[in-house]
Amino acid sequence: MNHLLRNALLMNTTTPVDISIVDGVLTAIDPAGKGTAPADATITDLEGRLVTPPLVEPHIHLDAVLTVGQPRANESGSLFEGIAVWGERVKSLTVDDVIERSREVMMWQIACGVQHVRSHADVCDPELRALNGLIAVREELKGIIDLQIVAFPQQGIYGFENGTGLMRQAMVEGADVVGGIPHFELTREDGVNSVQFVFDLAQEFDSMIDIHCDETDDDHARFVEVMAAETIKRGMTGKVTASHTTAMGSYNAAYAGRLITNIKRAGLNMITNPLDNSVLQGRFDIGPIRRGHTRVKELLKAGVNVAIGHDSVMDPWYPLGYGDPLQAAFMLAHYGHMSGATELPYLLEMISTNPAKALGVDSAGVRVGGPASLVVFDAPSAEDALRRISPRYLVMRDGEVLSRTAPAQTTLTINGTSRDVNFLRP
Ligand code: FE2
């Protein structure tokens, strides 16, 4: 199918353009009104709507989605009650159960404009049910929404029976990325050893690394420094990601400064998960309650690649969400003090180009000669897309329309007079 998309507003520009698409390739970008429709093209007037590259979800737990309330509610909302509830729910896990829930949320992600996903799969299970369910969905949806699966030891590598064997088995059976959880191991020494085990395994399978690292308010949790050191010593720059790293928010400034220097030197990718961590951290504080998130602004200032993850969708740890990265970006605008004039549009980079770099997926952007994979927001700017968490008007991959959302219409009637309201500044 060929297309002409008229009056599209590209990221970081102010003048609309026409986009031509032939056989799945973006063939021309012309000033608005100057584009020529390719043969047999469908012509769509975007009326100045924002067009971006596909969104990328760098951190989600698809094996746990849609389990909120099962087998019981997390009454406190805390991380530890969440882990206890999941420990009960996981007993009834089946491969089909994982397939059905993860497939449904991936459909939601497609409608939100997401085309690349990295999901953790809990491998603390002798049958590897979560992994096998996600592998089945990965194959089913290949080419529509691409899935990377992380072998994730939710209960620890050394604190769980045959933890190292299950991690290796997960990689043999088809996991793409090696995960870890050093701050959850039984001792600090086990934590350090677990990071080294993860790096050894990744080198053995020539894979990337994505570790849940220092997801705690304990300022003595300092395993990111081990990750940076191993990355530097082994020459694995670009292949390693540290997720959550909330303890960084509690480190003293001298230590944090030295650590960020080494993170930059190692070329670590950093993923912050503002939705889950805004409700899970600070639970032991009486007041003032710490925000409990990583040092996003300092990392960005140092030139580190930082991306935003959603983490959970309706599971024992986070009962809300529908997989839309824009909700997580909206949260970070507040929770991370990223409301500055240039920071707001940059939040969209943190859910598209930055996570693409972390995942090592092609991020061609919206450019001539690239694939016609793009997202149209029902908004006239990045700021308005964030402000109203705008629906995705159109989602396209390789020239195929995957999703359309009709804009909502609100009609106000006051004293017998009606008018439409779209919450946009006139
Ligand atoms: Fe996570």
Indicate which CATH number applies to the domain containing 371: 2.30.40.10
Active site residues: 215
Q: How many domains does the chain have?
A: 2
What per-residue confidence (pLDDT) applies to 187? 98
Let me know whether 406 and 297 are in one domain: no
Which position has the token pair 């530890």? 80
Are 230 and 192 in contact, with CB atoms under 8 Å apart?
A: no
Let me know whether 158 and 225 are in one domain: yes
What per-residue confidence (pLDDT) applies to 273? 98
Q: Per-residue confidence of the chain (426 residues) as pLDDT tens digits? A: 899 999 999 999 999 999 999 999 999 999 999 999 999 999 999 999 999 999 999 999 999 999 999 999 999 999 889 989 998 999 999 999 999 999 999 999 999 999 999 999 999 999 999 999 999 999 999 999 999 999 999 999 999 999 999 999 999 999 999 999 999 999 999 999 999 999 999 999 999 999 999 999 999 999 999 999 999 999 999 999 999 999 999 999 999 999 999 999 999 999 999 999 999 999 999 989 998 899 999 999 999 999 999 999 999 999 999 999 999 999 999 999 999 999 999 999 999 999 999 999 987 689 999 999 999 999 999 999 999 999 999 999 999 999 999 999 999 999 999 999 999 998
Q: How far is the CA of 400 from the centre of ligand 1 (A)?
A: 32
Domain membership of residue 20 as a residue range: 3-53+365-410
Q: How far is the CA of 245 from the centre of ligand 1 (A)?
A: 10
Tokens representing 317? 């740890």
Are 247 and 183 in contact, with CB atoms under 8 Å apart?
A: yes
Let me know whether 203 and 278 are in one domain: yes
Burial label, 356 (beta-carbon count in 10 A; 0-12, 13-18, 19+):
buried
Q: Is 422 within the bounds of a domain?
A: no
Let me know whether 328 and 376 are in one domain: no
Collapsing DSSP to helix, strand or coil, 200 comes out as helix
What per-residue confidence (pLDDT) applies to 38? 95
Domain CATH code at residue 297: 3.20.20.140
Q: How far is CA 117 from CA 226, 315, 324, 329, 363, in A?
A: 26, 18, 12, 16, 13
Let me know whether 167 and 70 are in one domain: yes
Give the CA angle between residues 105, 107, 111 to the nearest 5°. 115
Q: Is 369 within the bounds of a domain?
A: yes
Let me know whether 13 and 112 are in one domain: no
Q: How far is the CA of 351 from the centre of ligand 1 (A)?
A: 16
Burial label, 12 (beta-carbon count in 10 A; 0-12, 13-18, 19+):
exposed
49 phi, psi to nearest 5 deg: -70, 150
What per-residue confidence (pLDDT) applies to 292? 87
Let me know whether 352 and 385 are in one domain: no
Collapsing DSSP to helix, strand or coil, 122 comes out as strand
Using DSSP, how many helices (H) and how many strands (E) does the chain show?
13, 17
Pairwise CA distance, residues 214 & 202, whole Å: 20
Let me know whether 134 and 190 are in one domain: yes
Secondary element (H or E) of residue 138? helix 129-140
Let me know whether 339 and 377 are in one domain: no
| Contacts (Cβ under 8 Å, ≥6 apart) of 377 | 49, 50, 51, 52, 113, 385, 390, 391, 392, 393
Burial label, 139 (beta-carbon count in 10 A; 0-12, 13-18, 19+):
exposed
Q: How far is the CA of 212 from the centre of ligand 1 (A)?
A: 6
Let me know whether 201 and 258 are in one domain: yes
Domain termination site, one of 359, 379, 399 = 359
Q: How far is the CA of 254 from the centre of ligand 1 (A)?
A: 27
Q: How far is the CA of 271 from the centre of ligand 1 (A)?
A: 10
Q: Is 387 within the bounds of a domain?
A: yes
Closest CA to 313 of 327, 297, 301: 327
What per-residue confidence (pLDDT) applies to 79? 87
Q: What does pTM read for this prediction?
A: 0.97
Q: Is 425 within the bounds of a domain?
A: no
Let me know whether 138 and 162 are in one domain: yes
Tokens representing 8? 């599209």
Q: Is 417 within the bounds of a domain?
A: no
Are 57 and 113 in contact, with CB atoms under 8 Å apart?
A: no
Q: Is 415 within the bounds of a domain?
A: no
Q: Is 419 within the bounds of a domain?
A: no
Q: Is 426 within the bounds of a domain?
A: no
Let me know whether 47 and 195 are in one domain: no
What per-residue confidence (pLDDT) applies to 364? 67
